[in-house]
Amino acid sequence: MFPNVRFWEKIYGTYTENQGVLHDKSDLDRVYRVINLLPKNTPGADEINKKLIETVQSRIQDMLRKFAAGAAPQTTEELQIHALFKEKNPVVFLAAIDNMRVQTGLKNRFLEGVIRSGAYMPAIKRILRTQELPQELAYLPHVESSFNPAAYSKAGAVGLWQFTSYTGKDFMLINDLVDERYDIYAAANAAALFLKENYRQLGAWPLALTAYNHGRGGMVRAQREWGTYPLIFANYTGKTFGFASKNFYSEFVAAYRVARRLENDPTVIRERPLISASVRLTSYASAPELRQYFGVSEEEFRSLNPALRSPVLEGKKYIPPEVVIHLPATHFVRERIRTMPASLFRSSQLSDIVLAKPKSQRRRSSSVKKVAAVSVRQFRSTRTSGKKIAGCLGKAKPVARKKTARKR
């Protein structure tokens, strides 16, 4: 595991987004080349970088084929690549050809995440203390989202803790009106509960953290087969236990180490802790009315309550009961929270507004339904023999002509 931690420490703390690290998937100490890439915002950068990586990878693969055939290294580059292998046998060289991977550096993105983390870290650590969990777990969002509260993955995972809707619904309110995965406090509490249950079932933090990525069921199966995390790491080959799952705990340890170094760097100024006054609603309430009562602008209210969706923010629907809203932590707001009047609350949700059709459309819709009903009754009254069906169609023609004649 330690070579993997060293590798990820360099990805987070040394290599930038304009560098691609070509390495072996299984042995992360085996780094073939660090490739300098064009910045992503350069026109045509994706295609140019792709060809550059393919060129370097192809050249090194050719070297490995030569070594597998028994050829000795000749050039300086060949000597460097050859030295990366402890075992100099054809089987090892051939296996390495198809086991390459490129990892882009994350130094700049990671630094930005450390700066952002200053706003959220105190609240997250407080929640972890409440759940009697290790404070180090507060650094997990560095791996998941780089502490970007608006992060969204292709798999549909969102927020600092990257919960999918499927998993998140076990711990948070997620529907068309509220998505608490975007709420810093609700999501942190959900992550704490999730990790706590992982640890209860698996009994070790490396397994509990890997289960955060791989799934608890998958890690239970791995534990049954191999027992401890070191043995699972070295030997488990479950179908879905791929590179990401195998490296997740190593990434976490590396992220913790790099983040702690940056936190102690006096040149890194982190964001100030986010402070807000919070209130849990006891019944339905209107967001516009709450804004007005507390004297909060629409923009600030939206920023403090990212879990609230558009229908609620626009007043088309009420905020549901038990939802916690966040407000500026001023003396005025705190006094207003203490004296909230009953008139702010509603006993039920607003019903959906259904727009009525114009009269002309209603008459037309009604006539179409009648014609359709007559057609269905006529069809059902006939038998399914070919003659009867043909007869039915034959009788329909004069009716159509008579109706046309009357229109004229």
What residues act catalytically? Answer: 144
Q: Give the integer Cα–Cα distance in Å for 399 and 147.
A: 72
Contact present, 59 and 42 (Cβ < 8 Å) = no
Q: Give the integer Cα–Cα distance in Å for 314 and 301.
A: 12
Contact present, 144 and 161 (Cβ < 8 Å) = yes
Alpha-carbon Rg for the chain, nearest whole angstrom, is 31
Q: Which residue has the tokens 């102690």?
A: 264
Contact present, 11 and 105 (Cβ < 8 Å) = yes
Which secondary structure element, helix H or strand E, spans residue 330, and what is its range?
A: none
Dihedral, CA of residue 142, residue 228, residue 217 and residue 166, to nearest 10: -10
- Residues 359, 360, 366, CA angle at the centre, nearest 5°? 85
Question: Among 2, 22, 7, which Cα is nearest to 63's?
Answer: 22
Q: Which residue type does 402 have?
A: K
Question: Strand 100-104 vs strand 284-285: parallel, antiparallel, or unpaired?
Answer: unpaired
Please give the distance of CA 4 from its chain centroid, rounded to a whole number: 24
